[in-house]
Structure 1
Amino acid sequence: MAATEESVPRPRAATLRDVAVLAGVSVATASKALNGRSNVHPDTRRRVIEAAERISFTPNTLAQAILAGQTGTVGLLTNDLEGRFSLPILMGAEDAFGAGKMSVFLCDARDDAIREQYHLKALLGRRVDGLIVVGSNTDPRESLGHDLPVPVVYAYAPSTDPLDSSVIPDNVNAGTLAIEHLVATGRTRIAHVTGDVNYAAARDRAAGALGALAAAGLELAGERVRYGAWTEAWGRAATHTLLSQGVEFDAILCGSDQIARGVMDVLRDRGFDVPREVAVMGFDNWQILTSGARPELTSVDMNFEMLGRRAAQRMFEAIDGKQTPGVERMPCRVVVRGSTTLDD
């Protein structure tokens, strides 16, 4: 009598333990390798993945979550979803989480404390494994506290609590790099037009710029930093003021790309050749502004996506019980274009 379909024994599905045995690692290491955790050696990760493919292992994500006490979800809480800075940070974080590796819940608090608390409760209600909190600017923000059941990493805006884990752009070094670039192109009379003095980014960039000028044996053209607004209108107004006061300059370092566009408008209208007579440089490397300028604008890129990836890595480390307190400052880079050099 032929065996019915029900009586034919089905092959046993491969398990995580099978993968671990075949790869010669512990079950915990195999799990970390397959889930993309950062604290696994690349050779070990490759060996585990090859073993999983060899025996057609398909992870049971629900069972893994129960065993690990995790849900495979992360909350991204931003205060400025429509802003210039939040989106690339969030994109970098999502890249680090990996396609299909982690589910991401995104909430926009819109700089509203009540809304932020509402979203926080909602995310915790979904039992996320961790939170990344993205600020709308680099000014320190209040901590969410230490009584939360999950680790928190603050990105762009650091927490005021030194025991929290924060990842921010190194704006002081960004100012230093900008001046070093201008000096390297032969500029010696550099003015600085920047944004609101109440913003940490404006003060930090100015501090780095002034320190680099001093190290080069130079003084700031016009004697003082021109603080104002983060707008093209302020860039135009400040440039008119510098010219009317008879300030001699061969470069203007601007606190943002928007300010730089305003500066370049006035210089062009007044007959100055950029960059032959005056070099102009911005911050943020906002492509819509840098590529639209004539000549194209040299700018300091704050590496926002890299910052987001680093915040996600810190999140993984914290989930694994290796949370690092304090503020980590991420490096920036100068993107050279035609507004500072004739070679571009």
Structure 2
Amino acid sequence: MEQPKPRPVTIRDVAALAGVSAGTASKALNNQGQLRQETRDRVLAAAKGLKFRPNETARSLGSERTFTVGLLTTDSIGRFSIPVLLGAEDALAAGTILVFLCDTREDPIRERHYVETLLSRRVDGFIVTGRRSDPRTPLAVDVPVPVVYALTPSSDPADCSVVADDEQAGRLAGEHLIATGRSAIAHITGPASFDAVGNRERGLRTALSSSGLSLVGPGVLYGEWSEAWGRRAAQILLRSGAQFDGVYCGSDQIARGAAEVLAASGRAVPDDVALVGTDNWDILVEGRTPTLTTIDLNLHEVGRRAAQRLLAAIDGEPTQGLETCPSRLVMRESTELQRVRD
């Protein structure tokens, strides 16, 4: 039986053995950059020991920058990737770096094609993002340039990832509802399989528990990320007979649907029920009456920090691990203080 051919040694293998970034390894091999001689010697020894033969893409890294970055996303509608992109561009603009935005549509073959095409154009690095915060597998292509994952983290803890704080989002929502006088709080959210859903629920329960409270209603209502689900879930909550004066929704879409049903049933927002959403999606939170209090996941900052980490990696600084960006509460009319009744 024919034995499989061994995988070619790459710049990342050399970098791992030498304990440096891929950018630093390439600079050392090309006699570029201001590196300590000890670092340069360690990289050269690792390359020799692994019998490394550099390809042209790897050779260009550290010797000739193109001042371009590839941003790969699975978010076809751009709701999450656009704020990340804008934040990244804010950080990259100081270095006059251009960004190529590619929508992979969650297709591994398409993603591989984009990576290989952008590498042929000698991009200096990649930012990888998506529409959900569940960990994803690292890029399938062996990439000789730095990669930073934004919002959607890499499943490899050795990679560099910058994410939103979903648990803090739930905690902020709970603390705010309690601070405005609510003590019977329900939770309507998205699919239970999403990491963000579990993290937001955990944060909400933490806030309630700290005040001696627990969730009310027929349990957490899991469903789709849609206004239609928000309407159905609010109907379920009302039919359950549970007494509630506050609802935290896992998205602004869900909150908008819930608000419609609450209004139709005679439950005024915020007088009878305070409502908090998630995402701070302007067309939803400002396009209704009353306007919607929500939790902003700070995606612009996620993109900005991811770009900063990428720039550091391109400059040869070791960059890895998980960084979490704080969420923030945006108060509007749907959670005004309860009025004192006669």
TM tier, shorter chain?
0.7 to 0.9
- Residue 104 of structure 1 aligns to a residue whose secondary structure is strand
In structure 2, what is the equivalent of residue 296 of structure 1?
291
Aligned identity (percent) is 53
Match of 2:135 among 140, 159, 162: 140
Structure 1 pair 108–296 and aligned structure 2 pair: CA distance change class (3 A) = same
Residue 204 of structure 2 corresponds to: 209
The answer to whether structure 1 residue 113 and structure 2 residue 108 are counterparts is: yes
Q: Which residue of 1 aligns with 2:254?
A: 259
SS of 2:177 mapped into structure 1: helix
Cross-structure match for 2:312: 317
Determine the C-alpha separation between the residues in 2 that align with 1:107 and 1:292: 30
Q: Which has the higher contact order (CA 8 A, sep 6+)?
A: 2
Task: Tell whether the 8 Å contact from 2:73 to 2:130 is kept in structure 1 after alignment.
Answer: yes
What residue in structure 2 maps to residue 12 of structure 1?
none
CA contact (8 A) 2:218 2:237 kept: no
Q: How much does 1:183 deviate?
A: 0.7
The C-alpha deviation readout for 1:175-231, integer Å capped at 9, x for no partner, is 111101111101100000001111111111111111111111101012621111111
Which aligned pairs between 1:51-90 and structure 2 lie closer than 5 A? 68-90=63-85
Report the CA distance between 1:100 and its aligned residue. 6.7
Paired residues in the alignment total 281
**Residue aligned with 2:255, SS:** helix
Residue 136 of structure 1, CA deviation: 2.2
Asked if the contact 2:180/2:337 (under 8 Å) is kept, the reply is no
Q: Distance in 1 between matches of 2:280 and 2:142?
A: 38
One-letter amino acid of the structure 1 residue matched with residue 145 of structure 2:
V
Q: How big is each residue's C-alpha offset from its partner over 1:50-76, in whole Å with a ceiling of 9 and x where there is no partner?
A: xxxxxxxxxxxxxxx998532211111
> Residue 242 of structure 1 corresponds to which residue in structure 2?
237
Contact 1:81 1:87 (8 Å CA) reproduced: no
Residues of 2 paired with 1:198 and 1:315: CA distance? 30
Runs ≥4 in structure 1, deviation > 3 angstroms?
65-69
Q: Distance in 1 between matches of 2:88 and 2:183?
A: 40
**Could you tell me which residue of structure 1 aligns to residue 330 of structure 2?**
335
Query: What residue in structure 2 maps to residue 277 of structure 1?
Result: 272
Task: Please report how far the alpha carbon of residue 77 of structure 1 lies from its aligned counterpart in structure 2 after TM superposition.
Answer: 1.2
Match in the other structure for 1:131: 126
Structure 2 residue 184 is the aligned partner of structure 1 residue 226: no
Q: C-alpha separation between the residues in 2 aligned to 1:67 and 1:162?
A: 25
Contact 2:285 / 2:293 at 8 angstroms: preserved in 1? yes
Map Cα deviations across residues 2-43 of structure 1 (whole Å, 9 max, x no partner): xxxxxxxxxxxxxxxxxxxxxxxxxx89xxxxxxxxxxxxxx
| Aligned 8 A contact 2:130 2:152 in 1 | yes
Assess, with a 3 A threshold, how the Cα gap between structure 1 residues 88 and 237 changes in structure 2: closer, same or farther: same
| Unaligned runs of at least 5 residues, structure 2 | 1-32, 35-59
SS of 1:248's equivalent in the other structure is coil
Letter in 2 for 1:263: A
Distance 1:244 1:87 in 2: 39
One-letter amino acid matched to 2:258: V
Q: SS of 2:333's equivalent?
A: coil
- Residue 47 of structure 2: aligned partner: none
Partner of 2:7: none
Measure the CA separation in 1 of the matches of 2:61 and 2:170. Answer: 48
Q: Rg bigger for which structure?
A: 1
Residue 189 (str. 1) matches residue 188 (str. 2): no
C-alpha distance in structure 2 between counterparts of 1:314 and 1:287, whole Å: 28
TM-score (norm 2): 0.79
Q: Residues of 1 paired with 2:139 and 2:62: CA distance? A: 28
* Alignment TM-score, normalising by the size of structure 1: 0.78
Structure 1 pair 66–278 and aligned structure 2 pair: CA distance change class (3 A): closer
1:316 corresponds to which letter in structure 2? L
Distance 1:96 1:293 in 2: 34
Distance 2:79 2:140 in 1: 27
Partner of 2:165: 170
Asked if structure 1 preserves the Cα contact closer than 8 Å seen for 2:61 and 2:124, the reply is no
Amino acid at match of 1:173: Q
Match of 1:47 in 2: none
Stretches of structure 1 lacking an aligned partner (at least 5 in a row): 1-27, 30-64
Residue 99 of structure 1, CA deviation:
6.1
Tell me whether 96-105 or 310-319 shows the greater mean CA deviation: 96-105
> Is 1:326 aligned to 2:321, yes or no?
yes
